[in-house]
Amino acid sequence: MANIIRIGSCLPRLRLERRAMAQAMGWLVPGAGAGRGTRTLAFWDEDSVTLAVAAAQEALGGDSADSLTFATTTPPFAEPQNAALIRAALRLPALCRTQDATGTPRATLLALQAALEGGEPALIAAADRPVAQAGSTAESRMGDGGAAVLTGPGAGLFAYLGGASLSAPFLHRTRASGAETALDWEERWQREAGYQAQVPPAIAAALDRAGVAAGAVDHLILPCPIPGTAAAIARLSGLTKATLAGDLAETTGDTGAAHPLLMLAAAMPRIAPGQIVVLAQFGQGATALVLKAGAGVVDHPGLPALDHGIPESNYLKLLAFQERLDWDRGLRGRFIVQEAQSTAYRNAEALLGFVARREAETGLIRFPPRLDLPGEDWPLADRGGTVATATADRLAHSRHPPNCYGLVDLRGGGRLMMDFTDPGAADLAPGDPVRFVFRVKDIDETSGYRRYFWKAVRDTGRGL
């Protein structure tokens, strides 16, 4: 058996207002923008891989893992394996086993259960950037986000007491291979024949294996976009004193595979050492895990990124960032970015891991590294730096004009030309501190191929 050692999270800064969605699409679809508040909106260069990398960096905290599972329903690639890219970006050992877990948002808890019962140090990185039909209820309920957990032996945030997974060929949301959006069946069917029929038996089996009475559960964490369903399941499961975790519906929306871990992180300030937590999720069956909070929960910051979003009222950014808007890219936007696969592999440590070279004789930091000279690897991803020059270019092609870039003085030595990203990129000025984030470099419009690299964002000192 293993325990949950650390939890990491990543929420995009942009928060799309649902009233803006209603204003844009309500004339055509009366239910557009259903609900109050906002949903998270990933920037154009964020996808499920980059969100997972950011969350995993926080979960690892400098540690390593023997295995890495990437859980998502929205993988950027059907081939190659997305987890292999994440491992390279995190600079985990090449002998770290990697796998993608897809097909259901419950893939996260399935992977977490396997890791907890396997005992070895394991990293589960979950992220989704879901796409739904324009103006649909699903579009307003969904959100983008990533979360990750590191499991292993020894004391951590939570001790694993037991769990159970129930599988069912239950169809309520389907998406054909190659299709962009899914089809949802009616809400009552999902609620009554799905959640209420399948989650309580999974919870009962998990509690039985853990040797915990239903009345002893202090917290229930269950993602469910259908209002009132989590409370009904708590009653059906006999969790008489359990506190329901907030569903984040009015701040982030349902982030799919990442959501149970994000809800767990957000609930941390209300969880005391020794309390019993049931973490559950539905999707072609149900998984329930029984956890006992350790002393470390007292020091966990929760989900501070909830309070540092940037309101966004332009609904068209959702369509443009999700590549669902056919817009005029101009002459400068017409280029092919497919790179030679042999080149991408040979330079993977530099391009994905962001590793430079410090020369032994001169002490110079070189990027790209020269491997023919004696020296040592010099990882840059965690160093950060200071803006030396900044340019906001409105002539160059950009998916979010202006195209922002400049020279960055690296901590520990070196200067590098880098792209700036995120909504406030144009405000960066010489002297501003920056940190580095793993993002999409560019996307080939013809093949769908995407390149990844590291970019600079303002360092707020909060890790947001």
Match 């409105």 to its residue by tokens: 394
In angstroms, how far is CA 382 from the centroid of its own chain? 19
Match 């058996």 to its residue by tokens: 1
Whole-structure pTM value:
0.95
Q: Is 145 exposed, middle or buried (0-12, 13-18, 19+ CB in 10 A)?
A: buried
Take residue 210 and report the two structure tokens written for it.
């853990």
pLDDT digits (tens), the chain, 464 positions: 899 999 999 999 999 999 999 999 999 998 888 889 999 999 999 999 999 999 999 999 999 999 999 999 999 999 999 999 999 999 999 999 999 999 999 999 999 999 999 999 999 999 999 999 999 999 999 999 999 999 999 888 999 999 999 999 988 888 888 778 887 888 888 889 899 999 999 999 999 999 999 999 999 999 999 899 999 999 999 999 999 999 999 999 999 999 999 999 999 999 999 999 999 999 999 999 999 999 999 999 999 999 999 999 999 999 999 988 887 777 666 566 666 678 888 889 999 999 999 999 888 999 999 888 899 999 999 999 999 999 999 988 888 999 999 999 999 889 999 999 999 999 999 999 999 999 999 888 777 788 999 999 999 875 45
3-state secondary structure the chain: CCEEEEEEEECCCEEEEHHHHHHHHCCCCCCCCCCCCEEEECCCCCCHHHHHHHHHHHHHCCCCCCEEEEECCCCCCCCCCHHHHHHHHHCCCCCCEEEEECCCCCHHHHHHHHHHHHCCCEEEEEEECCCCCCCCHHHHHECCEEEEEEEECCCCCEEEEEEEEEECCCCCEECCCCCCCCEECCHHHHHHHHHHHHHHHHHHHHHHHHCCCHHHCCEEECCCCCCCHHHHHHHHCCCCCCEECCCCCCCCCECHHHHHHHHHHHHHHHCCCCCEEEEEEECCEEEEEEEEECHHHHHCCCCHHHHCCEEECCCHHHHHHCCCCCCCCCHHHCCCCCCCHHHHHHCHHHHCCCEEEEECCCCCEECCCCCCCCEEEEECCCCCEEECCCEEECCCCCCCCCEEEEEEEECCCCEEEEEECCCCHHHCCCCCEEEEEEEEEEECCCCCCEEEEEEEEECCCCCC
Distance CA 154, CA 3 (A): 7
For CATH 3.40.47.10, list the domain ranges present in the chain: 3-172+184-300+310-321
Match 């969100």 to its residue by tokens: 51
Match 């020091």 to its residue by tokens: 299
Nearest residue to 385 (alpha-carbon basis) of 322, 432, 441: 432
Determine contact, residues 436/381, Cβ cutoff 8 Å: yes
Match 């997972």 to its residue by tokens: 52
pLDDT score at 444: 80
Q: What is the CATH number of domain 3-172+184-300+310-321?
A: 3.40.47.10
What residues are paired with 357 via a beta bridge? 366, 377
pLDDT score at 392: 95
Cα 365 to Cα 300, 344, 361, distances in angstroms? 36, 22, 11
What residues are paired with 455 via a beta bridge? 437
Report the chain's C-alpha Rg in angstroms: 22
Distance CA 301, CA 7 (A): 10
